[in-house]
Amino acid sequence: MNALIQRFTGAAESGESLPLQALAILKQVALPVLGIAAFLLLWGLLAKQVDTSLGSFPGPASVAEQVKNLYQEHVAERAKADAFYERQEKRNADRVAKDPNYVPKVRAYTGKETFLDQIGTSLVTVMSGFLLAASFAIPLGIAVGLSKPLNEAINPIIQIFKPVSPLAWLPLVTMVVSALYVSDDPFFAKSFVNSVITVMLCCIWPMVINTSIGVSSVNSDWVNVGKVLRLSPLKNIQKIVLPASIPAIFTGMRMSLGIAWMVLIAAEMLAQNPGLGKFIWDEFQNGSSSSLSRIMTAVLVIGVIGFLLDRGMLMIQRWVSWDKSQAAR
Amino acid sequence: MLSLRKLIVAAACTLAVSATADELGYPEKEELTFGFIKLTDMAPIAVAYENGYFEDEGLYVTIEAQANWKVLLDGVVTGRLDGAHMLAGQPIAATIGYGTKANIITPFSMDLNGNGITVSNDVWEKMKKHIPKQADGKPVHPIKADALKPVVEEIHAAGKPFNMGMVFPVSTHNYELRYWLAAGGLHPGYYAPHKGDTSGQLDADVLLSVTPPPQMPSTLEAGTISGYCVGEPWNQQAVFKGIGVPVVTDYEIWKNNPEKVFGITEEFAEKYPNTTIRLVRAMIRAAKWLDENDNANRPAAVKILSQSNYVGADYDVIANSMTGTFEYEKGDKRSVPDFNVFFRYNATFPYYSDAIWYLTQMRRWGQISEDKPDSWYKDIAAKVYRPDLYQKAAESLIEEKLVSASEFPDFATEDGFRPPQTHFIDNIVYDGKAPNAYINKFAIGLKKGDKL
């Protein structure tokens, strides 16, 4: 029990003297900055050496320029969208004047998705797939972790499907979705459903495995306490199993989210579903002189977002985690 | 007197009523999605959007790039797309059931010419020896496949195959590349769909395979193919990247050949008649804008096309062919004012004879495995090409004085056949009214009575 508490609280709160702390902060800030600076320098130098048929490989400067361009394009597109709505309003008003029975309808802007829109689309897609997967995987993981027979029954299936790249599923998912998901005015676009399901398929396994491991390795003393108190099975899960296995569940979730983000980009590229993956593919197809630097920009953005997603999960974990509630008490 | 006045008023009233009844109604479907492939000849769609012609018709159009021609066709068939920029052969092949079977019609032809054949630098070096030179040392155009023949023979002697890329089995590019090769004595291979062979490589000297247009330059660079036939800007891209040399344009293979069409399903046209007429109206206006005042608007069009959501290649690359020039070997830039024709020479009118030419080539290369009577060719053409829809759109534009009647064929007398066409690279004359006689004129290719 003590060991557990120590594991959760970590060594951060062991009081250190002030100069030592300053040194630690310096280390925490200066070293990463140094690393990044060295990387930028190396990147800038090496990029110039690589000549492709679309010009030399983009260095940091051309990426910075594209960041600016992409943002300006976004602003310009928004202005176009505003003009579009204005024209539409006028056209609708004219038609109502001529044809009083007409019920005007406001249609969404038909222009292109900007880079920022694509980021938004990808984020929404990955979170939807991830949450959908979590809603299946965590209950399943708990059930598998609590019941040995169930574990033995399901384990071979998990072991077989776990190593399958979700991209291998993509053609099947596409065909099944277009066969089953038929409606005249679908609430979700088919491409979105395809991406979400593909993401879900890759998210499920790490979460199931980690949850079940977390659940099955709950400290036996605590399980015994539950038995002594004669907790109902549900109460047992709520009061003992879940709080104790939160770290393991979150480890699984963080792994899943990381994989989901990687897979989503590939799936978008392959299936031409809107999002960052499609942005990269489109730029590759365009083959213009700025294509490579735009792709490089997207690569960095994908990396940064992946990092932020992971940090976000970590923050949520700290927030819901059992050790913090322990501390609050 | 009073009764006469009443009569006049009554007559005026009926006239007014009938006039409004004839007037084109509001579109039944307003939100549309159109597909396209990243090629400069999608310009009428982009221009109709950017210049607000679609909106003028009350149409809210979303324009989506598609990965390849198969995906695009499936999109139209399944209804994911309402219409698309298509290869002229696609609606025809779909109607006769070669590949995907579907009733696709074309009320609007998008352009003439616009393709080229590019070979790798390596092949070009070897070809050059066999091409006669002009006084200034530049090669004499048009370059015929006769110059390629010894190169292919040399490669065959070394025991290697000679591969070239085209964009789709029923694409203009496939037929143009085949036409050019066969005119130079190189056999491009037969199809035998009745035996399940759709590779199109039977008896072939040159093995043709499918590559999506935007990937042509990178596939050539990777060495998978030694040359290709594709639309712009992918030939000029090869020049810019320094990976290949365009040797001939389709303008030289067949002057003013029909190229892309706008395809919709027959069901769509029946379900949404006003929408159909209106979208044709918008595109006629766009096509006119593209060719107006001797291509004066082309630079503006190139600017639109170079946006990343349309063609997305560099301005200079697209401008090379769109503004009336074409760069062959690096530095050998020649004037080809009609390289892309969007409106002149009745480019947008869907002629039956254009459809029949594609059918003759499908028969020539075995995609149609059995003999068909001349009447069959006409019937299929009339099923796919719909000048009636075009005429309605054009007449309503003429009435609104947005275009003048002189810019169109004389609808009263037009029978849908262009007069017999000369100007082929091998000087064979094409008459759309006698398709079987035309097929028999070729040295290489299936003739009447032939079956594989």
Q: Rounded distance, CA A39 to CA A48, Å?
A: 14
The answer to whether the CB atoms of A53 and B317 lie below 8 A apart is: no
Nearest to B67 among A54, A87, A272 (CB): A272
Tokens 């400069």 sit at which residue?
B40
Of the candidates A132, A136, A325, which has an alpha carbon nearest to the alpha carbon of residue A239? A325
> Which residues sit opposite B208 in a β-bridge?
B164
pLDDT at B11 over 60: no
- The DSSP line for B198-261 is EEEEET-SSEEEE--GGGHHHHHHTTS-SEEEEETTHHHHHHHHTSEEEEEEHHHHBTT-B-EE
DSSP-based three-state secondary structure for A18: helix
The pLDDT of residue A17: 66
Question: Quick one: tokens of A75?
Answer: 């602003």
**Could you read off the pLDDT of B102-117 as tens digits, one per residue?**
999 999 999 999 999 9
**Could you read off the pLDDT of A152-195 as tens digits, one per residue?**
998 898 888 888 887 788 888 888 887 888 776 667 888 888 88
- Between B315 and A20, the higher pLDDT residue: B315
Q: Rounded distance, CA B241 to CA B390, Å?
A: 40
Same fold, B4-112+258-326+338-407 and B115-256: yes
A287 interfacial to chain B (CB closer than 8 Å): yes
Give the number of other CB atoms < 10 A from CB of residue A180.
8
Residues of B whose CB is below 8 A from A181: none
From residue B62, give the alpha-carbon distance in Å to each of A44, B33, B34, B46, B403: 39, 5, 6, 10, 26
Residues of B whose CB is below 8 A from A289: 314
pLDDT at A55 over 90: no
Determine what percent of chain A is predicted with pLDDT higher than 70. 91
Q: Residue A304: phi, psi to the nearest 5?
A: -60, -45
Mean pLDDT of B401-418: 92
The answer to whether the CB atoms of A289 and B314 lie below 8 A apart is: yes
B264–chain A nearest CA distance, Å: 18
CATH fold label, A81-327: MetI-like fold (1.10.3720)
Determine what percent of chain B is predicted with pLDDT higher than 90. 77
- Between B318 and A328, the higher pLDDT residue: B318
Nearest to B312 among A102, A178, A288 (CB): A288
The pLDDT of residue A16: 55
Lowest mean pLDDT among A91-105, B9-23, B117-131, B136-150: B9-23
Residues of A whose CB is below 8 A from B217: 53, 287
Mean pLDDT of B36-55: 94
B66 interfacial to chain A (CB closer than 8 Å): yes
The pLDDT of residue B250: 92
The pLDDT of residue A295: 93
Q: Rounded distance, CA B257 to CA A194, Å?
A: 40
Lowest mean pLDDT among B11-25, B92-106, B348-362: B11-25
> Which residues sit opposite B244 in a β-bridge?
B120
Nearest to B313 among A105, A190, A287 (CB): A287
Question: Quick one: tokens of B79?
Answer: 């209804």
Q: What is the ipTM of this complex?
A: 0.75
Q: Rounded distance, CA A74 to CA A301, Å?
A: 16
Domain positions in chain B are 4-112+258-326+338-407, 115-256
CA dihedral B38, B40, B44, B47 (to 10 degrees): 90
Q: Rounded distance, CA A291 to CA A62, Å?
A: 11
| Chains A & B: contacts with CB separation below 8 Å | 66
The pLDDT of residue B337: 87
Q: How confident is the model at residue B189 (pLDDT cuts 50, 70, 90)?
A: very high
A95 interfacial to chain B (CB closer than 8 Å): yes
Mean pLDDT of chain A: 85
A80–chain B nearest CA distance, Å: 10
Of the candidates B362, B416, B428, which has an alpha carbon nearest to the alpha carbon of residue B109? B416
The pLDDT of residue A181: 82
B115 interfacial to chain A (CB closer than 8 Å): no
Mean pLDDT of chain B: 90
Residues of B whose CB is below 8 A from A190: 80
Residues of B whose CB is below 8 A from A95: 26, 58
Tokens 């007037």 sit at which residue?
B23
Q: How confident is the model at residue B3 (pLDDT cuts 50, 70, 90)?
A: low
**Could you read off the pLDDT of A199-208 as tens digits, one per residue?**
998 889 889 9
Nearest CA in chain A to B30: A107
pLDDT at B6 over 90: no
Give the number of other CB atoms < 10 A from CB of residue B443.
10
Nearest to A107 among B31, B218, B311 (CB): B31
pLDDT at A328 over 60: no
Asked if CATH classification 3.30.930.10 holds for the domain at B115-256, the reply, yes or no, is: no
Question: Quick one: tokens of B37?
Answer: 């492939």
Nearest to B62 among A87, A110, A285 (CB): A110
Secondary structure E strands in chain A: 51-52, 55-56
Give the number of other CB atoms < 10 A from CB of residue B424.
16
Q: Find out whether B322 and B242 touch, Cβ atoms under 8 Å.
A: no
Q: Which residues of B87-103 are buried (b: 16+ CB within 10 A; e: fewer)?
A: bbbbbbbbbbebbeebb
Q: Rounded distance, CA A272 to CA A207, Å?
A: 28
Q: Please give the CATH architecture assigned to the domain spanning B4-112+258-326+338-407.
A: 3-Layer(aba) Sandwich (3.40)
Q: What is this structure's pTM?
A: 0.81
The answer to whether the CB atoms of B55 and A87 lie below 8 A apart is: yes
Residues of B whose CB is below 8 A from A53: 217, 221, 241-243
The pLDDT of residue A184: 67
Mean pLDDT of B278-292: 95
Q: Rounded distance, CA B186 to CA B145, Å?
A: 7
